[in-house]
Each structure stands twice: as C-alpha cells, then as structure tokens.
Amino acid sequence: MSEEDDDIILSELDDEELVQQMFDDLYDGLREEIEEGVGILLERGWSPYKVLTEALVGGMTIVGNDFRDGILFVPEVLLAANAMKGGMAILKPLLVETGAPRVGKMVIGTVKGDIHDIGKNLVSMMMEGAGFEVVDLGINNPVESYLEALEVEDADILGMSALLTTTMPYMKVVIDTLIEQGIRDDYIVLVGGAPLNEEFGKAIGADAYCRDAAVAVETAKEHVARRHNAMSA
C-alpha cells in the first residue's frame, strides 16, 4: 500500500464515488480493492447483477477501449482482468442464487495456427460478466475442437478470434464446415481480432464482427434476443 492509497477509505465514499474509484482500481489492477468495493456495494443493498454490470463491466469497458486505442498494453489489461476475477469470484455464487438472467452459452477459442489469447480472454471475461456461460477452448483450435464443443456444451454462440492475417482465413474453414454439416443456423457466430473488419466478417459468413470485448457482449445480447423473439413468434 502506498501512502496515497491510505487517504481513500472506500467505505466512506458514496455509491457514485465508490463506483468511480472502482473503475480506477480496476484500471490499476488492484484486486483487493475491487473485492472490498464489491463487498461494500453488496452490503449497501446493491443486487449482484447491478454490482457486476455497473461497477465491474463498466470498469472493464474503459480498460477494453484503452487497450484497443493503444493507451493500455497487455500486462496492464491482464492485471485489470485479474482484479475483475477477484470481484467475479464473490459475485458468481450470488448471481446463480439470485437467478441473474442466464443469457446464453458461448464456446470461444483462438483459431488453428494462432496462439494469441489476450483479446479472447477479455471477451470471455466480459461475456461472463454479462451473464453468459463461457466455455473457453484456449488457443490453436482446429475445426474439430469447435464442432465437438458446440455439440457437447449445447452452445448458442461460437466465438472465434485471430490476431494474424495468416490465420484469419481459418475462420471461413470452420464456418464452411458448419454449413456442410447443415448446422450453421444453429449457432450465432461472432468473430474478432485486430486484423479483422466488418467486410471480412460478412465475406466469411459470420453473424457479426466484434471490434472489441464490449461490442462482443452487446452483439451477443442482440442476437440472442432476436433469436428468442423469432422462436416465440
């Protein structure tokens, strides 16, 4: 603890100040402070879902944006992600108990030939943060891994990421295989990664290209809602 940290006593801040302070603490990767902040908000009667969306997801959105804009780098993002995990560990059992909206289930992984996982990890965490169940297949996934996981997990969403221009085309291999097997329409397919763009997403037949983790969460929610509406119509 440095001197200046001692000046701020989290429990003395009002709700709004506390949330702002938690944004800063998340940004700085301060896990203990985040855990303390989550505890204080819960004591004040905040629902687990509200703490999650307003304090944690709100804070991680800032981190995600600054990472995208080159203001933050991988080590800082990992620290922030670790701090968020501390808060999530407290909230997860409560979210299950309170029956927070279970939004859907996502299988996510980096494609074959690519070992980058920072963006994917951020998406996983923020999707969990938004109430999705996430099955993370890690890196370097051949088409078989995706297909097996989608079936075994009974997932709604497939997320694929790539950071290399050379591995981007593999996403099309996976989507083409889903089409060949007649199961493409069973899943919402989201793709992301630094070298991708909207045109590429359309060209390979994905449902959407997601520029960053925050967009991925919003896009997933929209598609799931649309699907539910179509089913109930």
- pLDDT for 28 equals 96
Residues 124 and 228 in one domain: yes
Give the residue-averaged pLDDT of 148-158. 97
Residues 115 and 88 in one domain: no
- Domain contains 1: no
- pLDDT for 102 equals 65
pLDDT above 90 as % of the chain:
64
Give the residue-averaged pLDDT of 126-141. 86
Residues 195 and 120 in one domain: yes
Residues 45 and 79 in one domain: yes
Residues 211 and 114 in one domain: yes
Residues 53 and 162 in one domain: no
Residue with tokens 């299988």: 107
Residue type, 11: S
- Domain contains 4: no
Which residues, other chains included, contact 98 with Cβ-Cβ below 8 Å and sequence gap of 6+? 47, 48, 49
Residues 137 and 63 in one domain: no
- Domain contains 62: yes
- Domain contains 2: no
Residue 129: which pLDDT band, with cuts at 50, 70 and 90?
A: low
Global confidence as pTM? 0.71
Residues 149 and 69 in one domain: no
Residues 79 and 141 in one domain: no
- Domain contains 183: yes
- pLDDT for 150 equals 98
- Domain contains 3: no
* Per-residue pLDDT at 127 exceeds 70: yes
Residue 30: which pLDDT band, with cuts at 50, 70 and 90?
A: very high
Residues 182 and 112 in one domain: yes
- pLDDT for 3 equals 44
Alpha-carbon distances of 28 from 71, 78, 168, 208, rounded to whole Å:
13, 10, 32, 31
CATH number, residue 143: 3.40.50.280
Phi, psi dihedrals of residue 70, rounded to the nearest 5°: 80, 15
**Residues 197-219 pLDDT 10s:** 999 999 999 999 999 887 898 89
Residue 99: which pLDDT band, with cuts at 50, 70 and 90?
A: confident
- Domain contains 181: yes
Phi, psi dihedrals of residue 81, rounded to the nearest 5°: -60, -40
Last residue of a domain, one of 79, 97, 115: 97
- Reference 134, options 142, 126, 143; nearest CA is 126
Last residue of a domain, one of 45, 70, 97: 97
- Pair 181, 147: CB distance under 8 Å: yes
* Per-residue pLDDT at 195 exceeds 70: yes
Residues 154 and 226 in one domain: yes
Last residue of a domain, one of 66, 81, 97: 97
Domain hosting 59: range is 9-97
How many domains are contained in the chain?
Answer: 2
Residues 46 and 161 in one domain: no
CATH number, residue 73: 1.10.1240.10
* Per-residue pLDDT at 92 exceeds 90: no
What is the average pLDDT score of the chain? Answer: 90
